[in-house]
């Protein structure tokens, strides 16, 4: 009963437990087979795959999200990205957004802080893809 309560208070979706990471050509490759998504990331991100890890990050701006899959934070320059499952929710005006539907009609949304350099935003958006 206690574990159910803890899980139900989490902003993370159960699909986040299937996040995997590997190294690829000097980048971090993020993948979630359950959602059919993958993405190349810069290596300086700190990642949160669950609510406990998210709570340990030093965040000035908490990203409001339900059904979060992964959160990434870097400090130089300071910005974040967030991947969540969404239905048709409104996008934050503070973020640049890309939506994908790769498996069973599930919509995964990448939100990248507009505080990120334009080249970083482009890199992250271009590399957020359905697994081939």
Residue in the structure block whose two tokens are 């081939």: 132
- Bridge partners, residue 97, by sequence: 111
Is pLDDT above 90 for 57?
no
How much is the average pLDDT of 86-111? 87
Question: What confidence score (pLDDT) does residue 4 get?
Answer: 39
Q: Domain map of the chain by residue range?
A: 2-130
- Please give the model's pTM, rounded to 2 decimal places: 0.87
Residue 94 pLDDT class (50, 70, 90 cuts)? confident
Q: What is the mean pLDDT of the chain?
A: 87
Residue in the structure block whose two tokens are 């810069």: 42
């Amino acid at each position: 009963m206690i574990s159910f309560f803890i899980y139900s208070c989490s902003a993370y979706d159960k699909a986040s437990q299937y996040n995997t990471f590997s190294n690829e050509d000097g980048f971090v490759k993020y993948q979630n087979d359950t959602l059919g998504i993958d993405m190349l990331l810069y290596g300086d991100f700190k990642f949160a795959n669950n609510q406990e890890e998210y709570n340990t990050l030093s965040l000035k701006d908490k990203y409001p999200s339900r059904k979060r899959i992964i959160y990434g934070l870097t400090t130089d320059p300071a910005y974040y990205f967030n991947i969540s499952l969404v239905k048709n929710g409104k996008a934050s005006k503070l973020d640049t957004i890309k939506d994908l539907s790769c498996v069973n009609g599930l919509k995964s949304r990448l939100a990248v802080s507009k505080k990120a350099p334009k080249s970083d935003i482009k890199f992250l958006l271009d590399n957020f893809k359905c697994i081939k």
